[in-house]
Amino acid sequence: MTRITIDPITRIEGHLRIDCEVDGGKVTKAWSSGQMWRGIELILKGRDPRDAWIFTQRICGVCTTVHAITSVRAVENALNLEVPLNAQYIRNMIVAAHGVHDHIVHFYHLAALDWVDIVSALKGDPEGASKLGATLSDYKANSVPNIRSVRDKLQTFVDSGNLGVFASGYWGHPAMKLPPDVNLLAATHYIQALEVQRVANKIVTILGSKTPHIQNLAVGGVSNAINPDSQSTLTLERLYAIKALIDQLGDFVHNAMMNDVAAVGALYADWTQYGAGVTNYLSVPDLPLDTKGTTFELPGGYIPAGDLSKFQAINSYQDAFFRDGVKEAVKHSWYEYSGASAALHPYDGQTNPKYDDFNDDGKYSWIKAPTFQDKRAQVGPLANVLGMYAAGHEPTKRHLTKLVEVASKVAGTQIPLTALHSTIGRIAARAVRCAVLHEALQNQWQLLIDNIARGDTRTFNRPVFPKGEVRGFGYHEAPRGVLSHWVVIKDGKIDNYQAVVPSTWNASPRDQNDEPGPYEAALIDTPVADANLPLEVLRTVHSFDPCIACAVHMVDADKRPIVQVKAM
Amino acid sequence: MSILVLGLGNILLSDEGVGVRIVEALQASHDMPGDVELLDGGTSGMDLLDMVAERDCLIVADAVNADGPAGRLIRLEDDNIRMLFETRFSPHQLGLSDLLAALRLIDKAPRRVVVIGVVPQNLSLGMDLSQAAANGRDAAVAMIVDELSRLGSAPTPRLH
């Protein structure tokens, strides 16, 4: 038996350590450990709830926007405060554009290099790659000169010995299986995606006034003033500039990304058998279409044991099934609950650190272990896409069917929907969600334009804080899955604040009943060809898009190795 | 000339946020000429790509883990910065170095990169800088003003 430790598995997003026991070429046991303590709760206590979002968007360097949005939703929920339609639409567009951005970056710049061999791409033939692209879509940027220029550029990088982002990838690893032409086509889109993600970011910047930290939120709405005639506000001119950016994004998402993901999925079909893990799926509805949050453009809910026929929808911002269903356990986390040994609801949540060592059978992570209806649950694009599919959401069905059709064509065999419960399934679902979000972004833009045309320019309702205690929760289907903030307000000040973030659900350690979290469960039976180069472990963990929301950033001047792999 | 002064770090973790605090202090004490932009980048990585792209010069203010007393000021330029990030393991760690490498791929990397770093003392939860890091912040502001002046884009001190 071999023990592999990968520490950390991510850097900018925070420290995640994965330990695996490998026996007979397969993972037999796994531990996921968050190595940083997060204490936003302690910073917020006693502060004005109207300011909480400014602090929460500093929790994470990748998910700034999502923590800001969820925070204002939680405080609005506590106050029963309605949000003007324009404000909902503007927030929804920020949410959708951010999601599209995040999913593009995840696939091309985080996950793809686990599957696409850049060195092999150099052996690809631009004409072959272009022809291959043409069989999948009429995406114009798949021209021979475009692809040739990318290959020449990669060759220059490799020749200079300065691989940059491509340094120390797993090039030539036996688990890399794409033919050179496919690698070259994907590498071409990798480089195009760098430009495309700027387009998505521009939409967030125009609406949010600034990135990476948006400035336009307020408890009760947004601070964007709408006046079709004034230059300093959200003008029609700016709105039409956004429309042009949305159209530019769509060409890439629908014609390049969806096909790349389908092709990678088809050519790595064996990976549809690995990585299912926890198949209780939790997602929440998002993009509210009314002022109270009772109707949504995108549905969400709970699927127990992978059975879509048992889908239970979450219906509103007041939904008791969701509100009462969430708990967090600390039996295997470096915390202790005073006066309680069982899992606690977030309103009663406590953050009392109790660190000792990494104990395989005891405490081994700074991440708490959340449960839904006392069960482990997987969150993220796969949970969301399956939930929307089960709810009968037409655009989800259409985009998912299209992706499966393309993948089946490339594979030469019909791929069943059950293949989604896997490592590849998580990556495929993220592309489908990206396409759905892009369509939603177009819709939300139209809804905003139509509402302004009706003469409604309201963007803000003033919050009023009562004496005594009120509680609220806000949720958001973020790029990595369900994010919820829980706030207790006493006499207008924050008394307790808990954030249950997507990676808390997925990267968590064992729970109260010693049931493993989604990463841990998904790693079981993952094949490992070479314990010193555990590419397969990374594939499954990266398919969740890990982000540990602690956002430590520090430059190391002494050139210590940033990541260590130990195989013992 | 297009210059971006980028503050990086997490302001929730005391001195870890010194880079952001440097940019805030610079903004409060000086007016920038038209070709200089200041940005609080927090702990973002690839989200900054659009703002960093196509600059003549990028000046990064950040906490730097190095030998020496807390508050010590460190200036790194070009090749030394590349060395900082030499020890890569996977292509999935998207920090500043990856951002710059990605920009090189599309020929939009800044022509010059300077890192002005402060050695932190206290990285625990909290919003305030240690005294040592606050001294480092003030020295860093002066150093960035010099840097900008040498580039021909001198900021104007605000009168109090």
A267 in contact with chain B, both atoms CB, cutoff 8 A: no
A47 in contact with chain B, both atoms CB, cutoff 8 A: no
Measuring CA to CA, which residue among A3, A9, A528 is closest to residue A275? A528
Q: In the numeric block, which tokens belong to residue A229?
A: 């005639």
- Considering only residues 24 to 43 of chain B, which have any Cβ-Cβ distance to chain A shorter than 8 Å? 40-43
For residues A67 and A59, the answer to whether their CB atoms sit within 8 Å is: yes
- Measure Cα distances from A527 to A68, A270, A274, A538, A540 in Å: 39, 11, 8, 11, 11
Q: In the numeric block, which tokens belong to residue A235?
A: 């003008």
Residue A558 has a CB neighbour count (10 Å cut-off) of 9
Query: Which residue do the tokens 């127990």 mark?
Result: A304
A482 in contact with chain B, both atoms CB, cutoff 8 A: no
Q: In the numeric block, which tokens belong to residue A418?
A: 């059950």
B15 in contact with chain A, both atoms CB, cutoff 8 A: no
- Measure Cα distances from A17 to A23, A167, A170, A505, A562 in Å: 20, 21, 19, 16, 12
End-to-end CA distance of chain A: 9
For residues B37 and A205, the answer to whether their CB atoms sit within 8 Å is: no
B12, B90, B105 ranked by CB distance to A538: nearest: B90
Integer Cα distance of A460 and A217 in angstroms: 10
Integer Cα distance of A102 and A120 in angstroms: 27
Q: What is the pLDDT of residues A427-474, one digit of tens each?
A: 999 999 999 999 999 999 999 999 999 999 999 999 999 999 999 999
Contact B86 A559 (CB under 8 A): yes
Between A and B, how many residue pairs show a Cβ–Cβ distance under 8 A? 166
Alpha helices in A294-393 (DSSP H): 320-323, 381-390
**Regarding beta strands A564-567 and A326-329, do their DSSP bridges make them parallel or antiparallel, or are they unpaired?**
unpaired
Integer Cα distance of A42 and A50 in angstroms: 17
Report the pLDDT value the prediction gives residue A228, as an integer from 0 to 100: 66
Contact A64 B101 (CB under 8 A): no
3-class DSSP assignment, residue B21: helix
Residue A305 has a CB neighbour count (10 Å cut-off) of 10
For residues B16 and B123, the answer to whether their CB atoms sit within 8 Å is: yes
3-class DSSP assignment, residue B122: coil
For residues A124 and A181, the answer to whether their CB atoms sit within 8 Å is: yes
Cα A27 to the center of its chain, rounded Å = 25
3-class DSSP assignment, residue A76: helix
B83, B84, B92 ranked by CB distance to A10: nearest: B92
Integer Cα distance of B101 and A164 in angstroms: 5
Residues of A with catalytic annotation? 13, 60, 63, 67, 480, 503, 547, 550
Query: Which residue do the tokens 């010069």 mark?
Result: B57
B136 in contact with chain A, both atoms CB, cutoff 8 A: no
- Considering only residues 56 to 75 of chain B, which have any Cβ-Cβ distance to chain A shorter than 8 Å? 62-67, 74
A542 in contact with chain B, both atoms CB, cutoff 8 A: yes
B53, B88, B92 ranked by CB distance to A110: nearest: B92
Q: In the numeric block, which tokens belong to residue A119?
A: 């060195």
Residues of B within 8 A of A109 (CB-CB) are 46, 94, 102
For residue A551, give how far its alpha carbon lies from the nearest alpha carbon of chain B (Å).
6
Contact B53 A110 (CB under 8 A): no
Residues in contact with A471: Cβ distance below 8 Å, sequence separation at least 6, in sequence order:
A78, A347, A486, A487, A488, A489
For residues A391 and A243, the answer to whether their CB atoms sit within 8 Å is: no
| DSSP letter string, A184-202 | HHHHHHHHHHHHHHHHHHH
Integer Cα distance of A426 and A145 in angstroms: 33
Residues of A within 8 A of B105 (CB-CB) are 153, 157, 164-165, 191, 194
* Segments in chain B below pLDDT 50: 86-93
> Which class for A453: exposed (0-12), middle (13-18), buried (19 or more C-beta within 10 A)?
exposed
Chain A residue with CA closest to B60: the answer is A555
Note down pLDDT in tens along chain A; length 568 residues. Answer: 788 777 655 433 346 788 899 999 999 999 998 866 667 778 899 999 999 999 999 887 678 899 999 999 999 999 999 999 999 999 999 999 999 999 999 899 888 888 999 889 999 999 999 999 999 888 989 999 999 999 998 898 888 776 666 765 778 888 899 999 999 999 999 999 999 999 999 999 999 988 889 999 999 999 988 876 665 678 888 899 999 999 999 999 999 999 999 999 999 999 999 999 999 999 999 999 999 999 999 999 999 999 999 999 999 999 999 999 999 999 999 889 998 778 999 999 888 888 888 899 999 988 899 999 999 999 999 999 999 999 999 999 999 999 999 999 999 999 999 999 999 999 999 999 999 999 999 999 999 999 999 999 999 999 999 999 999 999 999 999 999 999 999 999 999 999 898 988 999 999 999 999 999 999 999 999 888 888 898 899 989 988 753 333 344 444 444 345 565 5
A566 in contact with chain B, both atoms CB, cutoff 8 A: no
Report the pLDDT value the prediction gives residue A561, as an integer from 0 to 100: 40
Report the pLDDT value the prediction gives residue A162, as an integer from 0 to 100: 67
B44, B89, B120 ranked by CB distance to A61: nearest: B44
Integer Cα distance of A1 and A23 in angstroms: 5
Q: Which of A155, A196, A554, A559 to mutate to test the interface with B (most CBs of B within 10 A)?
A: A554
Report the pLDDT value the prediction gives residue A549, as an integer from 0 to 100: 39
DSSP summary character for residue A491? T
Query: Which residue do the tokens 């005891």 mark?
Result: A362
Q: In the numeric block, which tokens belong to residue B24?
A: 């805030």
> Which class for A346: exposed (0-12), middle (13-18), buried (19 or more C-beta within 10 A)?
buried
To which H or E segment does residue A440 belong?
Answer: helix A423-453
For residue A132, give how far its alpha carbon lies from the nearest alpha carbon of chain B (Å).
24
Chain B residue with CA closest to A105: the answer is B46
Q: In the numeric block, which tokens belong to residue B130?
A: 């240690």
- Crossing angle of helices A64-79/A85-104, nearest 10°? 150
Contact B10 A565 (CB under 8 A): no
CA dihedral angle for residue A366, residue A371, residue A377, residue A383, rounded to 10 degrees? -100
B90, B96, B123 ranked by CB distance to A563: nearest: B90
Residues of A within 8 A of B99 (CB-CB) are none
Integer Cα distance of B80 and A557 in angstroms: 9
Residues of B within 8 A of A557 (CB-CB) are 64-67, 74, 76, 84, 117
Name beta bridge partners: A488.
A471, A496
Query: Which residue do the tokens 């989800």 mark?
Result: A396
Measuring CA to CA, which residue among A152, A142, A143, A148 is closest to residue A189? A142
Query: Which residue do the tokens 């000339």 mark?
Result: B1
Alpha helices in A255-380 (DSSP H): 258-267, 320-323
B104 in contact with chain A, both atoms CB, cutoff 8 A: yes
Chain A residue with CA closest to B127: the answer is A43
CA dihedral angle for residue B42, residue B43, residue B46, residue B47, rounded to 10 degrees? -30
A166, A167, A552 ranked by CB distance to B13: nearest: A552
Report the pLDDT value the prediction gives residue A167, as an integer from 0 to 100: 65
Phi-psi region of A339 (alpha: psi -120 to 50; beta: other; left: phi over 0): left
A43, A195, A551 ranked by CB distance to B127: nearest: A43
Residues in contact with A450: Cβ distance below 8 Å, sequence separation at least 6, in sequence order:
none
pTM over 0.90: yes
CA dihedral sign of residues B90, B15, A60, A546:
positive
Report the pLDDT value the prediction gives residue A36, as an integer from 0 to 100: 66
Integer Cα distance of A416 and A412 in angstroms: 13
Report the pLDDT value the prediction gives residue A187, as an integer from 0 to 100: 94
Integer Cα distance of A425 and A275 in angstroms: 9
Residues of B within 8 A of A55 (CB-CB) are 12
B88 in contact with chain A, both atoms CB, cutoff 8 A: yes
For residues A4 and A20, the answer to whether their CB atoms sit within 8 Å is: yes
**Regarding beta strands A555-556 and B57-65, do their DSSP bridges make them parallel or antiparallel, or are they unpaired?**
parallel
Q: In the numeric block, which tokens belong to residue B1?
A: 């000339």
Chain A residue with CA closest to B83: the answer is A559
For residue B9, give how far its alpha carbon lies from the nearest alpha carbon of chain A (Å).
6
Report the pLDDT value the prediction gives residue A355, as an integer from 0 to 100: 85
Predicted ipTM? 0.88
Residues of A within 8 A of B48 (CB-CB) are 212
**Regarding beta strands B57-65 and B112-118, do their DSSP bridges make them parallel or antiparallel, or are they unpaired?**
parallel
DSSP summary character for residue A11? S
Residue A143 has a CB neighbour count (10 Å cut-off) of 15
Query: Cis peptide leading into A534, omega within 30 of 0?
Result: no
Contact B46 A558 (CB under 8 A): no
